[in-house]
Amino acid sequence: MVMAAMPTAFVTGGGSGIGRALAKALAARGTTVCIADLNVAAAEAVARECGGSASSLALDVRDADAVKTGIEAFVAENGRLDYMFNNAGIGIAGEVDDIALPGWQRIVDVNLYGVLHGVLAAYPIMLKQGFGHIVNTASLAGLGPAPLFTPYALTKHAVVGLSTSLRIEAASRGVRVSVVCPAAVETPLLDSGNPGDLGIGWAPDARRFLTALAGPPYPVETCADDILAALSRNTSVIVLPGRARLAWRLGRLFPALVEKIGLSAVAKERSTRV
Protein backbone atom coordinates (compact mmCIF):
# COMPACT_ATOMS: atom_id res chain seq x y z
CA MET A 1 0.00 0.00 0.00
CA VAL A 2 1.22 3.50 -0.83
CA MET A 3 1.74 5.54 2.31
CA ALA A 4 -0.62 8.50 2.64
CA ALA A 5 1.01 11.86 2.14
CA MET A 6 -1.22 13.55 4.70
CA PRO A 7 -0.79 12.94 8.43
CA THR A 8 -3.65 11.06 10.08
CA ALA A 9 -5.34 11.20 13.48
CA PHE A 10 -7.92 9.04 15.24
CA VAL A 11 -9.88 10.97 17.89
CA THR A 12 -12.15 9.25 20.42
CA GLY A 13 -14.83 11.35 22.07
CA GLY A 14 -14.59 13.51 18.97
CA GLY A 15 -18.26 14.42 18.83
CA SER A 16 -18.06 17.24 21.38
CA GLY A 17 -15.85 19.23 23.70
CA ILE A 18 -12.08 18.90 23.48
CA GLY A 19 -12.34 16.07 20.95
CA ARG A 20 -14.41 18.15 18.55
CA ALA A 21 -12.08 21.14 18.89
CA LEU A 22 -9.03 18.93 18.31
CA ALA A 23 -10.58 17.31 15.24
CA LYS A 24 -11.39 20.70 13.70
CA ALA A 25 -7.95 22.10 14.50
CA LEU A 26 -6.23 19.03 13.05
CA ALA A 27 -8.34 19.12 9.89
CA ALA A 28 -7.54 22.82 9.44
CA ARG A 29 -3.86 21.86 9.49
CA GLY A 30 -4.30 19.30 6.72
CA THR A 31 -4.66 16.14 8.83
CA THR A 32 -6.95 13.28 7.80
CA VAL A 33 -9.13 12.76 10.87
CA CYS A 34 -11.45 9.99 12.06
CA ILE A 35 -13.97 11.31 14.58
CA ALA A 36 -15.08 8.43 16.80
CA ASP A 37 -17.86 8.85 19.33
CA LEU A 38 -20.60 6.90 21.08
CA ASN A 39 -22.99 9.52 19.68
CA VAL A 40 -22.65 8.79 15.96
CA ALA A 41 -24.84 11.75 14.94
CA ALA A 42 -22.48 14.10 16.78
CA ALA A 43 -19.46 12.43 15.17
CA GLU A 44 -21.00 12.79 11.72
CA ALA A 45 -21.73 16.48 12.36
CA VAL A 46 -18.12 17.14 13.38
CA ALA A 47 -16.87 15.28 10.29
CA ARG A 48 -18.97 17.60 8.15
CA GLU A 49 -17.53 20.60 10.01
CA CYS A 50 -14.02 19.31 9.35
CA GLY A 51 -14.72 18.72 5.67
CA GLY A 52 -12.17 17.23 3.31
CA SER A 53 -11.32 13.62 4.05
CA ALA A 54 -12.66 13.59 7.63
CA SER A 55 -14.70 10.52 8.55
CA SER A 56 -16.87 9.46 11.47
CA LEU A 57 -17.32 6.26 13.42
CA ALA A 58 -19.80 5.06 16.03
CA LEU A 59 -17.58 3.75 18.82
CA ASP A 60 -17.94 2.70 22.45
CA VAL A 61 -14.43 2.87 23.88
CA ARG A 62 -15.40 0.32 26.52
CA ASP A 63 -15.39 -2.31 23.74
CA ALA A 64 -11.75 -3.26 23.18
CA ASP A 65 -12.47 -5.27 20.04
CA ALA A 66 -14.45 -2.42 18.48
CA VAL A 67 -11.66 0.06 19.24
CA LYS A 68 -9.05 -2.23 17.69
CA THR A 69 -11.20 -2.90 14.62
CA GLY A 70 -11.96 0.78 14.10
CA ILE A 71 -8.34 1.89 14.33
CA GLU A 72 -7.07 -0.92 12.10
CA ALA A 73 -9.70 -0.10 9.46
CA PHE A 74 -8.68 3.57 9.53
CA VAL A 75 -5.02 2.62 9.08
CA ALA A 76 -5.84 0.17 6.29
CA GLU A 77 -7.63 2.96 4.43
CA ASN A 78 -5.03 5.67 5.00
CA GLY A 79 -1.78 3.76 5.29
CA ARG A 80 -0.52 5.25 8.55
CA LEU A 81 -1.44 6.46 12.03
CA ASP A 82 0.33 9.64 13.11
CA TYR A 83 -1.79 10.55 16.14
CA MET A 84 -4.00 8.55 18.47
CA PHE A 85 -6.06 10.85 20.69
CA ASN A 86 -7.62 8.86 23.53
CA ASN A 87 -9.99 11.62 24.56
CA ALA A 88 -13.37 10.03 25.36
CA GLY A 89 -14.41 10.45 28.97
CA ILE A 90 -17.24 11.03 31.42
CA GLY A 91 -17.58 12.79 34.76
CA ILE A 92 -19.03 11.38 37.98
CA ALA A 93 -19.09 13.55 41.09
CA GLY A 94 -20.48 13.56 44.60
CA GLU A 95 -19.64 12.33 48.06
CA VAL A 96 -17.74 9.04 47.99
CA ASP A 97 -20.24 7.36 50.32
CA ASP A 98 -23.11 8.34 47.99
CA ILE A 99 -21.59 6.67 44.94
CA ALA A 100 -22.28 2.93 44.71
CA LEU A 101 -19.93 0.49 42.99
CA PRO A 102 -21.63 0.68 39.56
CA GLY A 103 -20.71 4.37 39.35
CA TRP A 104 -17.04 3.61 39.99
CA GLN A 105 -17.14 0.77 37.47
CA ARG A 106 -18.71 3.01 34.83
CA ILE A 107 -16.11 5.75 35.05
CA VAL A 108 -13.20 3.31 35.20
CA ASP A 109 -14.54 1.49 32.13
CA VAL A 110 -14.76 4.71 30.11
CA ASN A 111 -11.99 6.94 31.42
CA LEU A 112 -9.32 4.32 32.11
CA TYR A 113 -10.09 1.19 30.10
CA GLY A 114 -11.28 3.36 27.20
CA VAL A 115 -7.84 4.99 27.09
CA LEU A 116 -6.07 1.66 27.57
CA HIS A 117 -8.02 0.08 24.71
CA GLY A 118 -6.89 2.88 22.41
CA VAL A 119 -3.28 2.56 23.53
CA LEU A 120 -3.21 -1.21 23.08
CA ALA A 121 -4.71 -0.91 19.59
CA ALA A 122 -2.56 1.99 18.35
CA TYR A 123 0.81 1.27 19.95
CA PRO A 124 1.64 -1.92 17.96
CA ILE A 125 0.76 -0.12 14.72
CA MET A 126 3.04 2.78 15.59
CA LEU A 127 5.86 0.42 16.59
CA LYS A 128 5.57 -1.38 13.26
CA GLN A 129 5.64 1.84 11.24
CA GLY A 130 8.35 3.35 13.45
CA PHE A 131 6.59 6.59 14.34
CA GLY A 132 3.45 8.03 15.90
CA HIS A 133 2.20 10.03 18.84
CA ILE A 134 -0.25 8.73 21.46
CA VAL A 135 -2.08 11.54 23.25
CA ASN A 136 -4.16 10.68 26.32
CA THR A 137 -6.58 13.18 27.83
CA ALA A 138 -6.36 13.31 31.62
CA SER A 139 -6.99 16.41 33.73
CA LEU A 140 -5.49 18.70 36.32
CA ALA A 141 -7.47 16.35 38.59
CA GLY A 142 -4.92 13.70 37.60
CA LEU A 143 -2.09 15.69 39.14
CA GLY A 144 -3.55 16.54 42.53
CA PRO A 145 -6.57 16.11 44.77
CA ALA A 146 -10.07 16.71 43.38
CA PRO A 147 -12.49 16.42 46.31
CA LEU A 148 -16.13 15.72 45.42
CA PHE A 149 -14.78 14.46 42.07
CA THR A 150 -12.94 11.49 43.55
CA PRO A 151 -14.01 8.90 40.92
CA TYR A 152 -12.87 11.26 38.17
CA ALA A 153 -9.56 11.95 39.93
CA LEU A 154 -9.02 8.20 40.39
CA THR A 155 -9.19 7.57 36.65
CA LYS A 156 -7.22 10.62 35.61
CA HIS A 157 -4.35 9.83 37.99
CA ALA A 158 -4.22 6.38 36.39
CA VAL A 159 -4.13 7.88 32.89
CA VAL A 160 -1.22 10.12 33.90
CA GLY A 161 0.67 7.12 35.28
CA LEU A 162 0.00 5.06 32.16
CA SER A 163 1.11 7.89 29.87
CA THR A 164 4.29 9.01 31.62
CA SER A 165 5.46 5.42 32.09
CA LEU A 166 4.74 4.33 28.51
CA ARG A 167 6.45 7.48 27.21
CA ILE A 168 9.79 6.26 28.55
CA GLU A 169 9.31 2.74 27.18
CA ALA A 170 8.26 4.02 23.76
CA ALA A 171 10.80 6.80 23.22
CA SER A 172 13.67 4.65 21.93
CA ARG A 173 11.25 2.83 19.61
CA GLY A 174 10.16 5.93 17.72
CA VAL A 175 6.79 6.51 19.40
CA ARG A 176 5.91 9.60 21.41
CA VAL A 177 3.41 9.70 24.29
CA SER A 178 1.88 12.80 25.89
CA VAL A 179 -0.83 13.35 28.47
CA VAL A 180 -3.11 16.39 28.49
CA CYS A 181 -4.01 17.78 31.92
CA PRO A 182 -6.24 20.84 31.55
CA ALA A 183 -8.09 22.71 34.27
CA ALA A 184 -11.81 23.20 33.64
CA VAL A 185 -12.52 23.63 29.92
CA GLU A 186 -15.65 25.15 28.40
CA THR A 187 -17.30 21.89 27.27
CA PRO A 188 -20.72 20.22 27.77
CA LEU A 189 -19.17 18.05 30.50
CA LEU A 190 -19.25 21.03 32.87
CA ASP A 191 -23.05 21.11 32.83
CA SER A 192 -23.94 17.48 32.12
CA GLY A 193 -24.30 16.21 35.69
CA ASN A 194 -24.05 12.55 36.67
CA PRO A 195 -25.48 9.75 34.50
CA GLY A 196 -29.12 9.54 35.50
CA ASP A 197 -29.28 5.75 35.79
CA LEU A 198 -26.72 5.62 38.62
CA GLY A 199 -29.00 7.25 41.22
CA ILE A 200 -26.19 9.16 42.89
CA GLY A 201 -28.32 12.02 44.17
CA TRP A 202 -26.55 15.17 45.27
CA ALA A 203 -23.49 16.29 43.35
CA PRO A 204 -21.58 19.56 43.32
CA ASP A 205 -22.24 22.13 40.62
CA ALA A 206 -19.22 21.35 38.46
CA ARG A 207 -18.99 24.75 36.81
CA ARG A 208 -19.22 26.69 40.09
CA PHE A 209 -17.00 24.34 42.10
CA LEU A 210 -14.21 23.98 39.54
CA THR A 211 -14.21 27.71 38.87
CA ALA A 212 -13.73 28.29 42.60
CA LEU A 213 -10.81 25.87 42.65
CA ALA A 214 -9.00 26.72 39.41
CA GLY A 215 -10.52 29.81 37.81
CA PRO A 216 -12.98 30.27 34.93
CA PRO A 217 -13.27 27.58 32.24
CA TYR A 218 -10.72 27.65 29.47
CA PRO A 219 -12.05 28.24 25.89
CA VAL A 220 -12.07 24.88 24.16
CA GLU A 221 -10.72 26.13 20.80
CA THR A 222 -7.76 27.78 22.54
CA CYS A 223 -7.23 24.57 24.49
CA ALA A 224 -7.04 22.54 21.27
CA ASP A 225 -4.59 24.97 19.65
CA ASP A 226 -2.38 24.93 22.74
CA ILE A 227 -2.43 21.13 22.86
CA LEU A 228 -1.28 20.85 19.24
CA ALA A 229 1.45 23.42 19.86
CA ALA A 230 2.68 21.42 22.85
CA LEU A 231 2.63 18.20 20.81
CA SER A 232 4.87 19.84 18.21
CA ARG A 233 7.39 20.28 21.04
CA ASN A 234 6.84 16.70 22.25
CA THR A 235 5.78 17.92 25.69
CA SER A 236 5.26 15.06 28.12
CA VAL A 237 2.65 16.46 30.54
CA ILE A 238 0.60 19.23 28.95
CA VAL A 239 -0.92 21.36 31.72
CA LEU A 240 -3.28 24.09 30.53
CA PRO A 241 -3.78 27.04 30.79
CA GLY A 242 -0.81 28.91 32.27
CA ARG A 243 -2.53 29.52 35.60
CA ALA A 244 -3.10 25.75 35.91
CA ARG A 245 0.63 25.14 35.44
CA LEU A 246 1.31 27.65 38.20
CA ALA A 247 -1.25 25.96 40.49
CA TRP A 248 0.28 22.54 39.77
CA ARG A 249 3.78 23.74 40.61
CA LEU A 250 2.67 25.51 43.76
CA GLY A 251 0.76 22.41 44.81
CA ARG A 252 3.88 20.30 44.53
CA LEU A 253 5.78 22.78 46.68
CA PHE A 254 3.00 23.50 49.18
CA PRO A 255 0.61 20.51 49.43
CA ALA A 256 -0.82 21.78 52.71
CA LEU A 257 -1.97 24.95 50.94
CA VAL A 258 -3.79 22.88 48.30
CA GLU A 259 -5.50 20.92 51.06
CA LYS A 260 -6.55 24.12 52.84
CA ILE A 261 -8.05 25.57 49.64
CA GLY A 262 -9.84 22.27 48.99
CA LEU A 263 -11.31 22.12 52.48
CA SER A 264 -12.71 25.63 52.10
CA ALA A 265 -14.18 24.92 48.64
CA VAL A 266 -15.79 21.68 49.77
CA ALA A 267 -17.35 23.33 52.82
CA LYS A 268 -18.78 26.11 50.66
CA GLU A 269 -20.17 23.67 48.07
CA ARG A 270 -21.70 21.42 50.76
CA SER A 271 -23.51 24.46 52.15
CA THR A 272 -25.58 24.54 48.94
CA ARG A 273 -26.83 20.98 49.43
CA VAL A 274 -30.56 20.72 50.01
Residue 155 placed within a domain: yes
Total domains, the chain: 1
User: Does some domain include residue 1?
Assistant: no
Q: pLDDT tens digit string along 76-132?
A: 999 999 999 999 999 999 999 999 999 999 999 999 999 999 999 999 999 999 999
Q: CATH number of the domain that 258 lies in?
A: 3.40.50.720
2 within some domain: no
Q: Is 152 considered catalytic here?
A: yes
3 falls within a domain? no
Domain assignment present for residue 232? The answer is yes
pLDDT above 80 for 2? no
pTM, two decimals, is 0.95
Instruction: Give the DSSP letter string of 172-191.
Output: TTT-EEEEEEES-BSSGGGG
Range of the domain at 91: 8-270
Burial bucket for residue 130 (CB in 10 Å: 0-12, 13-18, 19+) = exposed
Question: What pLDDT does 212 receive?
Answer: 87
Among the listed residues 83, 113, 123, 152, the single catalytic one is 152
Q: Once rounded to an integer, what is the mean pLDDT over residues 43-68?
A: 97
